[in-house]
Structure 1
Amino acid sequence: MKDYAIIVAGGSGNRMQTETPKQFLLLKNLPVLMHTIKAFAQSDTQPKILLVLGKDQQDSWAHLCEEFNFDIPHEIIDGGKERFHSVKNAIQTIEGDGFVAIHDAVRPLVSKSLIDNCFKAAKVQGNVIAAIPSSDSVRISRDQKTSALKRDEVYLVQTPQTFNINVIKEAYNQDFANHFTDDASVVESIGYGINIIEGERENLKITYPIDLELAELLLKNSECKKEL
């Protein structure tokens, strides 16, 4: 039995209004992706880290690792056309039994405790995804009409999403479909139920410029608390 972490880093900088891929932007003087990898490397679980990067970004990453003296062990996997194909490429390199956590590279504030709790819960329940209850009112739009949903029944899905390796391999043997928005939807489509573990509000996904600013503030606050 072995534990793995697949960190998916195929995003561009389009919505960040920058040519630099989101995962390479600086967050407190360190590329976002390095914060993410450090969280998994410092967890008690100590998974083997598989980093999925587009071929066109791998040279840039190598230069960043040299520039920042970043030497945490990780294996580079070629990214695919869609996120689905990127994850599939990484899964196909895994042999034997165990569990794998799949995580967005641009969620750099994931805590070590959330990573460990996801692995622990998955080993009991077979799979688990991090998610937080919605704090906003929610509406759904269909056929140009909107209707309210019960807020206490709505969860906002995060990563890590952690699965038994044999199950996730089975799920990714199927063909890609447009409704696969995350790994849980891929696994659910072959008949497995999905379990939820409470995520963290701080575990935000950096998509827009304001997200990077917020992440910077959260990191500063965290460092201040440690000093106290």
Structure 2
Amino acid sequence: MRYEVVLPAAGSGKRMGAGKNKLFLQLQDRPILIHTLTVFEQDANCTGIWLAVKPEERTFIQELLTAYGMTKVKGLPAGGEERQHSVHSCIKEMKEVDIVLVHDAARPFITQEIIVRLAQTAYEKGAAIAGVRAKDTMKKVTEGVITETVDRESLWVIQTPQAFRFDLIKEAADVAEKIGFLGTDEAMLVERLGHKVHIVESSYENVKMTTKEDLLFGEAILANRSR
């Protein structure tokens, strides 16, 4: 199933405490961003990559793309204040395609197997997101006091990619912009339209590089995969 992918890459990465865009930090001598891009660069079903970037970082990112032979990037539109705005800026520039994936640029360990299942489910159902089952006991807490132990059997930890038919995600993003609604992810925008979003089971390795500890996990994953 052919698709194009949007990668919001204009974040500040404050929780990483790196003093620069965390996507430029390295895992095994390659920037996180390049690890992520390589997954889609090597996927024959991916027909285009869109990166929402900070204008002041555009030149550096273009240099990275050239240095590492990334050929599928179709555009580098300016990112917005929020992730949702960055994704929408890319969607506005896209020509109509069958399927659009939205993926965290800081999740470099997604596999093509999961991508295939997401794209196929989105093509058949309209919307699909990656997730894993909650492993820990979940508690609801109010003002520092536990008020409920939540049944984790029905709880999933949501990841990316999130995959949608193009017309559906474009409508959802357009409506959200029109009414000034800010969601936590693209699936929430689609849910507001009354459309069902389906879950595709992902991998616990599909972690997001958010804190310094995550970099340790990332190095371990790469070392394990290289073996």
Q: TM-score scaled by structure 2? A: 0.91
Structure 2 Cα separation of the partners of residues 151 and 215 of structure 1? 26
Counterpart of 1:73, as a letter, is K
SS of the equivalent of 2:174 reads coil
Structure 1 Cα separation of the partners of residues 225 and 2 of structure 2? 31
Shift of 1:213: 1.1
Question: Which residue of the partner structure matches residue 25 of structure 1?
Answer: 25
Structure 2 Cα separation of the partners of residues 94 and 22 of structure 1? 26
Counterpart of 1:215, as a letter, is G
Counterpart of 2:197, as a letter, is I
Structure 2 Cα separation of the partners of residues 216 and 90 of structure 1? 30
Shift of 1:130: 0.2
Cα pair distance change 1:69/1:144, threshold 3 Å: closer
Structure 1 Cα separation of the partners of residues 70 and 169 of structure 2? 29
Shift of 1:97: 4.3
SS of the equivalent of 2:103 reads strand
Shift of 1:133: 0.3
Question: Which residue of the partner structure matches residue 109 of structure 2?
Answer: 109
Question: Which residue of the partner structure matches residue 161 of structure 1?
Answer: 162
SS of the equivalent of 1:171 reads helix
Question: Which residue of the partner structure matches residue 223 of structure 2?
Answer: 220
Counterpart of 1:201, as a letter, is Y
Shift of 1:55: 1.1
Bigger shift: residues 57-66 or 27-36:
57-66
Structure 2 Cα separation of the partners of residues 152 and 47 of structure 1? 37
Shift of 1:140: 2.0
Deviations 1:88-140 (A, max 9, x none): 11111122241100000000011111112211111111110000000011112
SS of the equivalent of 1:47 reads strand
Shift of 1:61: 1.4
Matches within 5 A, 1:198-209: 198-209=201-212
Bigger shift: residues 141-150 or 122-131:
141-150
Shift of 1:13: 3.1
Number of corresponding residues: 222
Structure 2 Cα separation of the partners of residues 61 and 97 of structure 1? 25
Does the 8 Å contact 1:11/1:21 carry over to 2? yes
* Cα RMSD for the two superposed structures: 1.7
Counterpart of 2:108, as a letter, is P
SS of the equivalent of 1:77 reads coil
Are positions 1:197 and 2:200 aligned together? yes
Matches within 5 A, 1:7-46: 7-46=7-46
Counterpart of 1:58, as a letter, is R
Deviations 1:123-177 (A, max 9, x none): 1111100000000111123465432111111100000000010000110112343
Cα pair distance change 1:44/1:73, threshold 3 Å: closer
Greater percentage in helix: 2
Question: Which residue of the partner structure matches residue 171 of structure 1?
Answer: 172
Question: Which residue of the partner structure matches residue 185 of structure 1?
Answer: 188
Question: Which residue of the partner structure matches residue 151 of structure 2?
Answer: 150
Structure 2 Cα separation of the partners of residues 4 and 69 of structure 1? 20
Does the 8 Å contact 1:127/1:194 carry over to 2? yes
Q: TM-score scaled by structure 1? A: 0.91
Q: Give the percent of matched residue pairs that are identical in Structure 1 and Structure 2.
A: 30
Counterpart of 2:196, as a letter, is G
Does the 8 Å contact 1:40/1:115 carry over to 2? no
